[in-house]
A and B are shown apart, each in its own frame.
Chain A
Amino acid sequence: MTTTTEQPTRRLNTAKAMVEAIAAEMERDENVFVLGEDVGAYGGIFSSTTGLLDRFGPDRVLDTPISETGFIGAAIGAATEGLRPIVELMFVDFFGVCMDQIYNHMAKIHFESGGNVTVPMVLMTAVGGGYSDGAQHSQCLWGTFAHLPGMKVVVPSNPADAAGLMTAAIRDDNPVVFMFHKGIQGLPWMAKNRRSVGPVPTGDHVVEIGKAATPRPGSDVTVVTLSLSVHHALDVAEELAGDGIDAEVIDLRSIVPMDTEAIIESVTRTGHLVIVDEDYQSFGLSGEIAARIAEHDPTILKAPISRVAVPDVPIPYARPLEYAALPTPARIKAAILQQTGR
């Protein structure tokens, strides 16, 4: 469910949409504040906090030392005392230096306390590759976070959802990991996806966490995906429509909770499933979706599923190698053609 009190929209890039959502919540609730590396004067390396320092001052927009354990842990402690921090982990790849705070503390305190202590915070982090940043700065890793109970995991693909999901995440009483792909931010220094700029509703725009979207309905094959890959899937679907193939594209938008119902409903109609996932293939999101269908009713499938994910290799540096690993439009197209027998 998406709720919007005022209807006019304007066109923003995803980064700007995130910033506007954060700013609106900071205006609404004095407990909301932002901290992280380079979130102040720089405005976030991927522009997720641009202008917030000027608007709200250094008491509410805090540049931190390069101490992810220290400042993410501090966000957790502040959240347990009723503040609503938005803390940025600059690249999700840096999770290794602070995973104890994220998993043993942020995600478990509510459970361990028997529900007596809440941890209302947003951990926002940049994900994804495609620009030769190598194996330590290009991962998605949402499957890693989704695997561990106690955190919601949202993964927007476009400006309107980024704004609406950010607002929902800030208002949520649970820890929410907000994973934004660098390739949809609309950054001036990185090749832009044409859908990285889009209409964003004004007013109180909230996208409920846990509901998938269907940006392209279709009847021949279901493509379940998220984040930047949504755009690749839509591009391919548009191309194949000219060949008489009608692909449905599902944008998961969040994977904890995941809208299993939407996937099953679609696959029940189409009988064919392509999962496109920029995370590693094994032990992750694509396997989980396959398992949920198998648990529900494997006979809804008319053919074995196709997975277009990162094969089990670290993200390579050299462009031809990186693009051999990423879920490119060409790989998505091949999978759809295989499913539809073309």
Chain B
Amino acid sequence: MSASMEAQVRRDLFDQMVLIRTYEEAVLREYHADKKPAFDIGAGLIPGEMHLSAGQEPVAAGVCAHLTTDDAVTATHRPHHFAIAHGVDLQAMTAEIFGRVDGLGKGRGGHMHLFDPATHFSCSGIIAEGYPPAAGQALAFKRRGTDRVAVAVTGEGAANQGAFHETLNLAALWKLPVVFIVEDNDWGISVPRSASTSVADNAARAASYGMPGVRVEDNAVEAVYAAAGEAVERARNGGGPSLIEVHTLRLWGHFEGDAQGYRADLEGVPGKDPIPTYEAVLLEQGVIDDAAVAASRKNASEVVEAAIAFAKASAEPDPATVLDHVFA
């Protein structure tokens, strides 16, 4: 870990990761609260599939630290960490996850379909298919002569999809200001990357398209921050796209309700949790103290619980409005 990084940047990265984890733990709690004793995916205050990002906080925190809300982020079916790190309104996002009228999509989208024009945030539930629209956002930014960038996120399983490769080629060909992020959490639901991917390193695929590619090991937030800083800078300065793969960690199941019987690495997983790891480093180097850690958690908890309360207080959509918003 770099001791030369500004202490405030390191504290911000830590706070961002704590906020994300606190949020995911709260959603986890609310999601399961009324699905007992028998788990029913369609029941409860938060119904439907739920893909939580615990363990992947370093990617979102490290990348989004370089962005403003004028930049675009296109995330995946597992979008919360990037939405939070990019500054999406937490209350409107939570209301959407609860399917309420004050949600980002007025209850039409749900947790895999979060759209926030204020921060140019969007996500897609279809693997790799968020990449092409990100290239289009970058095209719009470039045509208008701005230095805004688009960040496109996928998992490592998506790197075997056609949309991934079509977009890398297009973005490199047109020198678009895009930063492609691959979150390698080792698992495509139950299939390990060794059984799905012909190369050891998806960053190596960037060379096929003539763009820089780097792989960040060990879920290291500061290394993500450094790599993303270079890539965002390159994109802002007209240097075109870059690809960053981060070896990260899916701390929990693919979705809630996933018993993970396939997962041989599960016993060792909690020890790899990036937040206690980073906390220990920052404590040891005197960047934060116990009081700062406690304050970070307290602040996160207050913000998150306020968002949950906001969502619960918001009304459910009126069934009479079911046909609204199909067309503008």
Chain A interface (Cβ < 8 Å from any Cβ of B):
33, 59, 64-65, 67, 69-83, 85, 97, 100-101, 104-105, 108-118, 120, 149-150, 152, 173-174
Contact of A73 with B326 in the complex, beta carbons under 8 Å: no
Write out the residue numbers on chain A whose beta carbons fall within 8 Å of the beta carbon of B234: none
Contact of B135 among A74, A80, A149 (CB under 8 A): A74
Contact of B129 with A100 in the complex, beta carbons under 8 Å: yes
Write out the residue numbers on chain B whose beta carbons fall within 8 Å of the beta carbon of A65: 166, 169-170, 173
Write out the residue numbers on chain A whose beta carbons fall within 8 Å of the beta carbon of B124: 104-105
Among A33, A77, A80, A83, chain B packs the most CB atoms within 10 A around the CB of A77
Contact of A69 with B162 in the complex, beta carbons under 8 Å: yes
Chain B interface (Cβ < 8 Å from any Cβ of A):
72, 74, 103-109, 113, 115-117, 120, 122, 124-126, 129, 131-141, 143, 150, 162-163, 166-167, 169-170, 173, 324-328
Contact of B169 with A73 in the complex, beta carbons under 8 Å: no
Write out the residue numbers on chain A whose beta carbons fall within 8 Å of the beta carbon of B125: 104
Contact of B140 with A78 in the complex, beta carbons under 8 Å: yes
Contact of B126 with A70 in the complex, beta carbons under 8 Å: no
C-alpha spacing A79/B122, complex, angstroms: 13
Interface of B is mostly: mixed
C-alpha spacing A76/B137, complex, angstroms: 8
Contact of B140 with A173 in the complex, beta carbons under 8 Å: no
Closest chain A residue, CB of each to CB of B328:
A173
Contact of A101 among B132, B139, B141, B143 (CB under 8 A): B132
Write out the residue numbers on chain B whose beta carbons fall within 8 Å of the beta carbon of A112: 105, 108-109, 113, 115
Among B126, B150, B166, B170, chain A packs the most CB atoms within 10 A around the CB of B166
Write out the residue numbers on chain B whose beta carbons fall within 8 Å of the beta carbon of A111: 108, 325-326
Contact of B325 among A64, A82, A97, A110 (CB under 8 A): A110
Offer 18 A-B interface pairs, CB within 8 angstroms, sorted by A.
A67-B170, A70-B167, A77-B72, A77-B134, A77-B136, A78-B136, A81-B72, A81-B136, A81-B140, A101-B163, A105-B124, A105-B133, A110-B326, A113-B115, A114-B115, A114-B325, A150-B326, A174-B327
Knowing that A74-B139, A114-B325 touch, tell me 12 more A-B residue pairs with CB under 8 angstroms: A65-B170, A69-B129, A73-B132, A77-B132, A77-B137, A101-B163, A104-B126, A104-B129, A111-B326, A113-B113, A113-B325, A115-B106
